[in-house]
């Protein structure tokens, strides 16, 4: 019998379709292959990107030259533009404003063929520290309400360049996905005086059904009502609302757990394309009792089609309990 499951935070219903159920080996993701050996993000091509905003470099190396282990640059084809004011205006019953924002690229490593799954934990921690640094810096711009950090890995997951990179987009509006989490979790807190994500971690730890790994102060788990097969959330086990308030040790712990999760996904699903998205509190918020930052990892295994676009329901052909079990068994 298929099941309807409700996400306890945003209230979204998903259909877990056991009729269409699958084993991990039944998914045939479009494999992520590295075709080129060199690209505009590779060392020696620093002049092909906008100038670096941030870089980790060998002592003495000049900006925008080789000698770096990580670079952050503006996106050459930005979705939003850094210059100007919002200048909101109407057109009859419609509302518009200028597309003001920031769109940056984190070039995670000089190695074209590496990935967050294969990089050493220290290098992954550097990527996370770069996110923290850029969040803290963009916070100073009063035009921005939010910074969404995300990664597209593999062409099927929307990556247009194969060199390991992630992106961040600062927006003048709090994204709807985040405001739904904020209001859902505030409502929960009002009833219970507890953070809903803290409660989820406690329940998953007790039952064990959907826990994938808990280590270094982080839990990786399959959510109760996942939109996608093998959807995985990684969150600090201690309550924290703002990612950018994490200290180096915490980010080092996240690097370990993120690496573990990505390696296990690679083994179980044979190197699938994936996205991850960081949900942290909006820039202007003080520490929030009800909101808990987390990273959502979604392998790209299924197609979203008319039913999903029209209804907002997702049909997931895999029980999260089965996905978590497969990823748990893949111990390193």
Within 120-149, which residues bind a second copy (CB under 8 A)?
A: 148
The only residue of 39, 215, 287, 304 in contact with a second copy, by rule CB under 8 A: 304
Query: Locate tokens 């984190």: which residue?
Result: 106
Q: What is the DSSP letter of 9?
A: T
> Does 280 help bind a second copy (rule: CB under 8 A)?
no
Q: Map residue 260 onto helix, strand or coil.
A: helix
| Interacting positions 63-82 with a second copy (CB under 8 A) | 77-81
| Interacting positions 213-242 with a second copy (CB under 8 A) | 224-225
Q: Which is nearer to a second copy, 34 or 97 (CB)?
A: 97
> Does 289 help bind a second copy (rule: CB under 8 A)?
no
Q: How far is the CB of 332 from a second copy (least distance, A)?
A: 25
> Does 307 help bind a second copy (rule: CB under 8 A)?
yes
40-48, 236-244, 285-293, 312-320 -> range binding a second copy (CB under 8 A)? 312-320
The only residue of 59, 60, 92, 286 in contact with a second copy, by rule CB under 8 A: 92
The only residue of 119, 156, 255, 262 in contact with a second copy, by rule CB under 8 A: 156
Q: How far is the CB of 40 from a second copy (least distance, A)?
A: 17
Distance CA 226, CA 299 (A): 12
Q: Map residue 191 onto helix, strand or coil.
A: helix
Q: Map residue 211 onto helix, strand or coil.
A: strand
* Contact in structure between 70 and 127 (CB atoms under 8 Å): yes
* Contact in structure between 204 and 211 (CB atoms under 8 Å): yes
Fill in the per-residue mask, 167 to 206: x = in contact with a second copy (CB under 8 A), - = not in contact: x-x-xxx-xxxx-x---------------x--xx--x---
Radius of gyration for the alpha carbons in the chain, expressed in angstroms and rounded: 20
> Nearest-CA neighbor of 268 among 22, 20, 15, 14?
22
64-72, 242-250, 256-264, 301-309 -> range binding a second copy (CB under 8 A)? 301-309
Per DSSP, the residues of 211-238 read EEEEETTEEEE--SS-SSTT-EEEEESS
How distant is the alpha carbon of residue 110 from its chain centre?
21
Q: Is 165 a catalytic residue?
A: yes
The one catalytic residue in 103, 153, 163, 165 is: 165
| Interacting positions 19-48 with a second copy (CB under 8 A) | 19-20
* Contact in structure between 166 and 126 (CB atoms under 8 Å): no
Which residues are catalytically annotated?
165
């Amino acid at each position: 019998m298929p099941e309807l499951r409700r996400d306890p935070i945003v209230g979204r219903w998903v259909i877990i379709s056991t009729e269409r159920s699958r084993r991990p080996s039944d998914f045939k993701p479009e494999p992520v292959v590295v075709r080129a050996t060199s690209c505009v993000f590779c060392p020696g091509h620093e002049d092909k990107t906008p100038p670096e905003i941030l870089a980790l470099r060998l002592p003495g190396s000049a900006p925008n030259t080789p000698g770096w282990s990580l670079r952050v640059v503006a996106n050459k084809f930005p979705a939003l533009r850094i210059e100007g004011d919002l200048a909101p205006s109407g057109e009859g019953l419609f509302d518009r404003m200028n597309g003001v924002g920031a769109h940056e690229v984190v070039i995670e490593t000089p190695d074209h063929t590496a990935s967050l799954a294969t990089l050493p934990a220290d290098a992954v921690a550097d990527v996370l520290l770069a996110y923290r640094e850029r969040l803290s810096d963009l916070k100073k711009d009063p035009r921005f309400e939010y910074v969404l950090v995300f990664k597209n890995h593999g062409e099927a997951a929307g990556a247009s360049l194969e060199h390991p990179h992630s992106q961040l987009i600062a927006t003048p509006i709090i994204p709807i996905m985040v405001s739904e989490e904020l209001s859902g979790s505030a409502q929960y807190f009002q009833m219970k005086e507890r953070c809903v994500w803290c409660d989820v971690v406690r329940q998953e730890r007790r039952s064990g059904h959907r826990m994938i790994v808990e280590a270094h102060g982080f839990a990786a788990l399959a959510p109760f009502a996942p939109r996608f097969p093998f959807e995985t959330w990684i969150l600090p086990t201690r309550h924290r609302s703002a990612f950018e308030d994490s200290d180096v040790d915490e980010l080092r712990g996240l690097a370990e757990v993120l690496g573990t999760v990505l390696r296990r996904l690679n083994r179980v699903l044979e190197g699938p394309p994936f996205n991850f998205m960081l949900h942290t509190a909006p820039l202007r918020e003080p520490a929030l009792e009800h909101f808990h930052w987390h990273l959502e990892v979604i392998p790209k295994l299924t197609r979203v089609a008319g039913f999903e676009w029209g209804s907002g329901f997702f049909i997931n052909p895999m029980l999260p309990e089965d996905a978590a079990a497969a990823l748990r068994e893949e111990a390193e």
